[in-house]
Amino acid sequence: MKNSFLQFLSLVKRSGNLIEGYNRCKEIMGKKKIHLFIFSEELSIRSKNEFVEYCKTNSIPYIEGISKSELGLSIGREEINILCILDKNMSDKLIKCYHDNYSNS
């Protein structure tokens, strides 16, 4: 069941450690420590490449492959393409939940 990742993402939003959307994530890069990016599967190739390059340069993990509607609904929006997480412990928990819920192993 994919709920634990999306439920925890909702908690991260309520905690104030979630930045939503391309413009806000782009604006915060270099200003605050980002511990995780989440990209929807519908994110444009150009945008994805831009953020993935930033992640690689700065050793920031990222998650991809969840629909923009699933991501959006989990945080009270219709849809969202890019999210970033500002809290290290929450990002670690999201990565664990993602692997528990979305990997095929």
- Can you give the residue range of the structural domain that contains 45? 3-102
pLDDT value for 104: 60
| Pairing verdict, β 18-20 and 82-85 | antiparallel
Q: Which residues of the chain have pLDDT under 50?
A: 1, 105
First-to-last alpha carbon distance for the chain, in angstroms, is 14
Given the structure tokens 């634990």, which residue do they identify? 4
CATH code assigned at 34: 3.30.1330.30
Given the structure tokens 């969840």, which residue do they identify? 66
Q: Which of 105, 72, 94, 75 is CA-nearest to residue 4?
A: 94
Dist CA 95 CA 81 (whole Å): 17
pLDDT tens across 16-44, in order?
A: 999 999 999 999 998 999 999 999 999 99
Number of domains in the chain: 1
